[in-house]
Amino acid sequence: MHKITVSIILFSCLFISAARPVRTLPAPKLQWMTMKEAEQAMLKEKRPILIDLYTSWCGWCKVMDRKTYSNPKVIAYLQEHFYPVKINAETKETISFNQKEYQYNDRNRANDFAIFL
């Protein structure tokens, strides 16, 4: 009887430990910068600025986020060699770049910075 009880307890412990979710490390994320942060970083170390212009309705922008910008090798490469900046092309906020300010353009329904690029 004692062997059966011990066997049941051991089996229960194994079952409970196997049923617990496996803790995984969070997936790495690309650390996007603002244009201002990228310009400040350029004062310390020169690197190219990678600008990702996106809109909320752009399907291919979402594909890039999901497939390209989530790839650990791409993330590591971009973080090491570039200052990655993500900008909504339709933002109504003022964007400052290279001592010039860009505003939202009602006629084009986009920020002048996106049009400039």
Rounded average pLDDT per 10-residue block, the chain, 117 residues: 56 56 72 95 96 96 96 96 97 94 97 96
pLDDT of residue 27: 73
Spatial separation of the C-alpha atoms in residues 91 and 114, rounded to whole Å: 9
Spatial separation of the C-alpha atoms in residues 97 and 6, rounded to whole Å: 71
89 touches 110 (CB < 8 A)? yes
pLDDT of residue 47: 96
The first and second tokens of residue 15, run together, are 């079952």
pLDDT of residue 60: 96
pLDDT of residue 106: 96
